[in-house]
Amino acid sequence: MSASNPTLITFVIYIAAMVLIGFMAYRSTNNLSDYILGGRSLGSVVTALSAGASDMSGWLLMGLPGAIYMSGLSESWIAIGLIVGAYLNWLFVAGRLRVQTEHNGDALTLPDYFSSRFEDKSGLLRIISAVVILVFFTIYCASGIVAGARLFESTFGMSYETALWAGAAATIAYTFVGGFLAVSWTDTVQATLMIFALILTPIIVLLATGGVDTTFLAIEAQDPSNFNMLKNTTFIGVISLLGWGLGYFGQPHILARFMAADSVKSIANARRISMTWMILCLGGTVAVGFFGIAYFSAHPEVAGPVTENHERVFIELAKLLFNPWIAGVLLSAILAAVMSTLSCQLLVCSSALTEDFYKAFLRKHASQMELVWVGRAMVLVVALIAIAMAANPENRVLGLVSYAWAGFGAAFGPVVLISVLWKGMTRDGALAGIIVGAVTVILWKHFALLGLYEIIPGFIFASLAILLVSKMSAPSAGMVQRFEAAEKDFKLNH
């Protein structure tokens, strides 16, 4: 454990700083809008970096480098798909969703927005979308807790049970106390830490393996097909990996960042910052896994842990090549990636339970502070369910991340995208889109049809359902009026 002491101290300082930010945000939280959306006060830098950090979980520093290390550049199609999807989301959805939510009853959550945008008096749209959020996000939260536990387990030699609580406790603490502002401010710190780790590590690995030419020759000597982008892939395989990009249009924790921007004017600048951050991070991630092939083939005596579990490639390189204090900072970046995503997901679940069930159906006239405390209680409830799901590390929760991403992408993506671009969309169209998208993902996954990632048919069928069903009836004059006012506002300020 002595070798881990600098790492342990770095982790403790980092976690203490995150919790401190939570308490600072606590002082700015006066009502439910502050707790759920930070009072719509985020500037472009915080909007950009918190959207990026909340998107990239432990997968960025563990899963992707591991896949590249095992299979070479053919695994990088997913990074290309994500970059294109994120850019289109910023371009078409971000600014419009910011103004549409404001014009539609100052909506704080996605179910709230759907309900106001389509004048749904029955509450059906709100309930179905809140249920979709709770089901898929609880799975998502559990996967984040597993990733955090794996990190603590491998870094400090803890038992899995202890690591589970150690990894989750800090995130729960600052989300519980500070709400959205705490989550967004900590995301900004975490995004900075992640980009630092992902730019520095590949450069040092490159130097350790003798520069670019030597590194590439070593990778080629190990297996020439490492450079082949089409190695072991099929057309459907490449389309499935690129299809991950479609998921962005429907991820509630990323869309919440757009809704919380201080104005639509901040969005264009936020897009530039966020896309630069994302391209550098994904490029660094691919480089870590790729250069790791050369490093461990030159040093087989230290390759044991990576051979056993390829997802440890970043962890092992950080430990081997850096001073223990710097290694502690780099390993904190993995914790940052896990915590930033987990905190957003806890908050979105909490806001769905508070705003879309408690306030909408149980206590319509609840005071703002009562709602904030209900929101805090819901963070604890969702966290405890996710910890219970993560308690068995063999339950393949990590494999369910792609399922949850597809579920949101297909159920909400077409509804969000079409609702901000087309005034002719109706309530029945929105309902059809959510139901068809979610059901297609579940059935397609179950029957594993064509080997195609379930988000693609889900997105296509949901979009068709929205267009066909909306054509059967007309939107009300109020819906068209609000849409046109929001679109005019967007064009004026964009």
DSSP string computed for 445-487: HHHTGGG--THHHHHHHHHHHHHHHHHTS---HHHHHHHHHHH
pLDDT tens digit string along 114-139?
A: 999 999 999 999 999 988 888 888 88
pLDDT of 491 > 90? The answer is yes
Average pLDDT for 6-11: 86
pLDDT score at 1: 43
Average pLDDT for 320-330: 89
pLDDT of 214 > 50? The answer is yes
pLDDT score at 454: 95
pLDDT of 4 > 60? The answer is no
List CB contacts of 421: < 8 A, sequence separation 6 or more: 92, 96
108 in Cβ contact with 375 (< 8 Å): no
pLDDT score at 249: 96
Average pLDDT for 418-434: 97
pLDDT of 494 > 90? The answer is no
pLDDT score at 2: 46
Domains and their CATH numbers in the chain: 2-394 (1.20.1730.10)
pLDDT score at 431: 97
- Structure-model confidence comparison of residues 271 and 351, the more confident one: 271
pLDDT of 245 > 90? The answer is yes
409 in Cβ contact with 455 (< 8 Å): yes
pLDDT score at 144: 83
Give the number of other CB atoms < 10 A from CB of residue 73.
Answer: 18
pLDDT score at 397: 56
pLDDT of 80 > 50? The answer is yes
**Dist CA 348 CA 346 (whole Å):** 6
List 42's β-bridge partners, or say none.
261
Residue where the block lists tokens 């502070």:
369
pLDDT score at 399: 65
- Name the token pair of 132: 């979709």
Using a pLDDT cut of 70, give the percent of the chain over it: 98
478 in Cβ contact with 121 (< 8 Å): no
Average pLDDT for 357-380: 87
**Dist CA 467 CA 450 (whole Å):** 26
pLDDT tens digit string along 396-419?
A: 555 677 888 999 999 999 999 999
Alpha-carbon distances of 252 from 51, 161, 193, 288, rounded to whole Å: 11, 30, 24, 30
pLDDT tens digit string along 432-462?
A: 999 999 999 999 999 988 889 999 999 999 9
pLDDT of 329 > 90? The answer is no
Name the range with the highest mean pLDDT among 145-154, 188-197, 241-250: 241-250
238 in Cβ contact with 76 (< 8 Å): no
Average pLDDT for 154-176: 84
Least confident of 141-155, 259-273, 274-288, 414-428: 141-155
Average pLDDT for 364-379: 87
pLDDT of 19 > 90? The answer is no
pLDDT score at 302: 92
3-state secondary structure of 239: helix
Average pLDDT for 326-334: 86
pLDDT score at 396: 59
Tell me the average pLDDT of the chain. Answer: 89
**297 pLDDT tier (thresholds 50, 70, 90):** very high
pLDDT of 60 > 90? The answer is no
Using a pLDDT cut of 90, give the percent of the chain over it: 50
